[in-house]
Structure 1
Amino acid sequence: MRKLFVRLSAALIASASAMAMAMHAANAAELKPGDVINAANFDQIKDDTFEGHKIGDMITDNVELMIKKFNLSIALRHSEAIPVPQEDIDNTKKYSGDVKIDPVTHEVTGYKAGTPFPDLSPDDSLGGFKALWNEYYQNTYGNTFDGHYTFLFIDSNRGLDRTQRWYTLSYKMKGRQTGDPVVGDGSLVKKQLLFAVEPYDIKGIGIFTVRYDNPQLEDNWAYVKSVRRTRQLSGSSWMDNLAGSVQLNDEYDAFAGRPSWYPAAKLVKKRWILAVAHLPLPLVTDGSDNATKYPTVDLKDKPYAWPTHKVEWEPREVYEIELTMPKEHPYSKRILFMDVNFPRIYQVEHFDKSGDFAKMSFVFTAPQKGGDGIIGMAPLQGIAFDIKREAAWVYLAEPDGMIDRPGITSDDVTLGQLEAAAQ
């Protein structure tokens, strides 16, 4: 009798649980564009859907933490296709068959243009590295990108601490969409200038970077204002903080290290997340107060770094990639989320040496027509929120930024140009 009672009780519990789940599913709603996900409603709507995807499934555990504990709120918009330039499609068909990856060193040979590894699978033991090589070579900027950025340095408890203006100019030496796919002898991937414009006390401070297409570390030169000279930085500068912010140099535009520098990269799975792929512009105006000057940044509420509801998030299918850091790196691992249709990373979760979640990064972007008419995806707004340092850093592209500005050549991106800008 007792066994029969136990079996009946278990059956009743299972039946009740199934009924509860069925009732909950029946009560689940389809959210609408403009609806907002926040700490007050997350538990009530996590089983609801948007464009057929369950909200809770599109929110990672650490984004849920940002919502519930750190006041992130997410306004929804319908997803929209992002055009992949025909030039990229043609170059991928033409050149990707020549690209090889070494299974031991994880180095790549044979790359010229297009996406080096168009077919990715979580079943491939090298899938994580292949995904990162796609981003490294072909992160959909266009051939060049230049323009000014405003940097916001934020104390998570007190608010905006200071602002700076910087100028950047990047020039692809490989993976070019139009013209010759490779400039020079093929030994370089990219050259880049980044230097401060305002305020006056830091004007001229900057970095000139040469990215080689081999395992050697990038060459970086910095202009030192106090001695009015450029100095070559140490090889470990790729792990240093960028412009004194909470973002590291190898986090520039989400990921800027050479994939082979990292001991392991695993393509975990495909999944859906909420991301910002159609950012409204402008991001910086001539407004008289912060609310109008920086309309996409909430500088009124803690932690003073999250986007306002002018910024809308949409469902995007992504690859989830787990990246293991070298032992000398400040972090132990990162989880990156990259669009499956093109190598744009929207979200990065950083873990400290103890394996604890320590920092959240988002990159917001939008399709931009370049000076040559080709659509690119430049990083327009980014957030790095460091939980342990209780600090954040936000960058905002100013209206003058342009993909493939006519007239820019490789000679515009040199150490001499950094020195000239500084003086």
Structure 2
Amino acid sequence: MTITRNRRIASAALLTATAGALAGAPSAASAEEVAEATVLSADNLDTLKDQTLDGIPIGEMLTERFEMWVRDYGLTMELGKTKEPELDPAYFEATAAHAGEATLDSETKKVEGYVAGVPFPDVSEEDPHAGYKLAWNHYYANPIMGDNWIAIGDTRVMEADSGVIDRFTAVSAKMLMEGRTTGEPVDLGSGDEHANYLLVLTEPYDVAGLGIFTKQYNTGKADDAWVYVKSIRRTRRVAGGKSWMDPQPKMDLLNDDNQAVNAYPLWYPEWEVVGRRHILTVTDAHNPNEANPLEDEVAMEPPYWNPINVTWRPQEVFVIEATPPEEHPYGKKVLYMDTDYPLIYHSEIYDKKGEFWRMWRQSYGPITAGNGAPGLGFIHTQAIDFQRERATYIDIVSNKLNTPKLTADSFTPRVLQQAASGQLEELAE
């Protein structure tokens, strides 16, 4: 898979300039280019919107919801030019080696012939099945998940007028059972297993073990799920059919919001690509495995969830509207996925009435994977409930990717009991 974003930026700037000239409006080519490290804020937003960054009008890179965040909630954004993140070469090698093998059934929308890497590396927004192909790309080949991944987050719940109201430690982890790219075998377990997934709280003591372990399948079969029952100190299997739609413990998130979408794609009735554009994202923040105090990451003033000390850079994305099933709490998710690989930068979430409800987003930074390869990790996850004016901020204190010691045998429902007894952190060493 070839990285072509810089050419796309140049093309986008040329198209914008041409359109502007034809319309008699100021073109991107004639607009003033902002200097790197310029800070966008509510005070200068109207001035900067018509200026450019990497030749792209800044106003065109702000979604309606981000502009609202800047104007109404004081978000400031230090601007910088595009930088390409570095990923494990094995990820791209697997994609190239198996290019064209995966196909999408036009009737069932199921994937056949997938082996490893990104199943559909060259998706055009004109393709009538583009939304489904991108959904499958993310399901099989989200680049920050790798073959295995585990993250420990110092988690805070914040209210806009009073700041932090709750704090606890959460661990999220995933073991991919198919399509593995960092060494043999490509598949683990039985042929229908997709991944094992964990979300659990480990501190303080009174909530340790609260969470869920699920086995996910590539056939659409309902997840198998386990929880830890603290009163009897035992792990118990539970009905997992709808657990993917359940709220995450104590957070402004659903299980389905992990990495923007954490569901078998066909559980969503519709995936539609509605456009292609540039947005501002964070891809080169500090290493998540290096300690940073919260006051260096989030502004310590209302609304208490605005990220600081990061640089926002242009990235070209597909805009995807995902329609959940009727029983899902959400009415719609709008996802912003990189056009070169299936990394989602943020999602805008709407309720059943069609009103804007929540935003999920992550800031990313470079890491070295456990196998020594370059990788991309996230330094924090934000879930902002704009209707309730509160947010969950997950500050990542450990993010491990492709750790050789983490195997399918070490990643079973018993990790819930390990979490309750304070032993789970050993998996992230």
TM-score (norm 2): 0.87
**CA offset at residue 22 of structure 1?**
5.4
**CA offset at residue 25 of structure 1?**
7.1
**CA offset at residue 63 of structure 1?**
1.0
Deviations 1:280-321 (A, max 9, x none): 23587485xx52xxx2122x222211201x111100011111
**Any residues of structure 2 matched to 1:90-109 within 5 Å, and which?**
90-109=93-112
Once residues 360 and 56 of structure 2 are traced to their aligned partners in structure 1, the CA distance between those partners, rounded to angstroms, is 23
CA contact (8 A) 1:222 1:233 kept: no
Q: Match for residue 391 of structure 2?
A: 392
The one-letter code of the counterpart of 2:388 is R
Distance 1:154-1:91 versus aligned 2 partners, 3 A rule: same
**Any residues of structure 2 matched to 1:50-61 within 5 Å, and which?**
50-61=53-64
Deviations 1:34-55 (A, max 9, x none): 1111111111110100010100
**CA offset at residue 23 of structure 1?**
6.8
Once residues 276 and 51 of structure 2 are traced to their aligned partners in structure 1, the CA distance between those partners, rounded to angstroms, is 21
Structure 2: 5+ residue stretches without partners = 1-19, 422-429
Aligned counterpart for 1:171 among listed residues 158, 168, 175: 175
Q: Percent identity?
A: 35
SS of the equivalent of 2:405 reads: coil
CA contact (8 A) 2:91 2:117 kept: yes
> How many residue pairs end up in the alignment?
399
CA RMSD of aligned residues (A): 2.3
**CA offset at residue 222 of structure 1?**
1.2
The one-letter code of the counterpart of 2:361 is F
Q: Match for residue 115 of structure 1?
A: 118
Structure 1: 5+ residue stretches without partners = 1-16
Once residues 412 and 234 of structure 2 are traced to their aligned partners in structure 1, the CA distance between those partners, rounded to angstroms, is 15
Q: Match for residue 80 of structure 1?
A: 83
SS of the equivalent of 2:67 reads: helix
SS of the equivalent of 2:249 reads: helix
Moved over 4 A (4+): 20-27
Once residues 303 and 101 of structure 2 are traced to their aligned partners in structure 1, the CA distance between those partners, rounded to angstroms, is 48
Q: Match for residue 311 of structure 2?
A: 312
Once residues 272 and 29 of structure 2 are traced to their aligned partners in structure 1, the CA distance between those partners, rounded to angstroms, is 37
SS of the equivalent of 1:97 reads: coil
The one-letter code of the counterpart of 2:176 is K
Aligned counterpart for 1:421 among listed residues 414, 419, 422: 419
Once residues 201 and 284 of structure 1 are traced to their aligned partners in structure 2, the CA distance between those partners, rounded to angstroms, is 28
**CA offset at residue 27 of structure 1?**
7.7
The one-letter code of the counterpart of 2:39 is V
**CA offset at residue 381 of structure 1?**
1.1
Tell me whether 1:213 sits opposite 2:221 in the alignment.
no
Once residues 282 and 365 of structure 1 are traced to their aligned partners in structure 2, the CA distance between those partners, rounded to angstroms, is 8
The one-letter code of the counterpart of 2:73 is F
The one-letter code of the counterpart of 1:224 is V
Distance 1:21-1:144 versus aligned 2 partners, 3 A rule: same
Distance 1:83-1:376 versus aligned 2 partners, 3 A rule: same
Larger mean Cα displacement after TM superposition, 234-243 or 46-55 = 234-243
Deviations 1:61-90 (A, max 9, x none): 111111111222111122111234332222
The one-letter code of the counterpart of 2:272 is K
Tell me whether 1:235 sits opposite 2:241 in the alignment.
yes
Q: Match for residue 12 of structure 1?
A: none
Once residues 393 and 267 of structure 1 are traced to their aligned partners in structure 2, the CA distance between those partners, rounded to angstroms, is 28
CA contact (8 A) 2:371 2:403 kept: yes
The one-letter code of the counterpart of 2:211 is G
Once residues 335 and 382 of structure 1 are traced to their aligned partners in structure 2, the CA distance between those partners, rounded to angstroms, is 17
Once residues 330 and 227 of structure 1 are traced to their aligned partners in structure 2, the CA distance between those partners, rounded to angstroms, is 31
Aligned counterpart for 2:147 among listed residues 133, 143, 147: 143
The one-letter code of the counterpart of 1:67 is V
Once residues 306 and 197 of structure 2 are traced to their aligned partners in structure 1, the CA distance between those partners, rounded to angstroms, is 28
Once residues 284 and 97 of structure 1 are traced to their aligned partners in structure 2, the CA distance between those partners, rounded to angstroms, is 40
Which structure is larger by alpha-carbon Rg, 1 or 2? 1
Greater helix percent: which structure? 1
SS of the equivalent of 2:181 reads: coil
**Any residues of structure 2 matched to 1:184-333 within 5 Å, and which?**
184-231=189-236, 232-282=238-288, 285=291, 290-291=294-295, 295-298=296-299, 300-308=300-308, 310-333=309-332
Tell me whether 1:405 sits opposite 2:403 in the alignment.
yes
TM-score (norm 1): 0.88
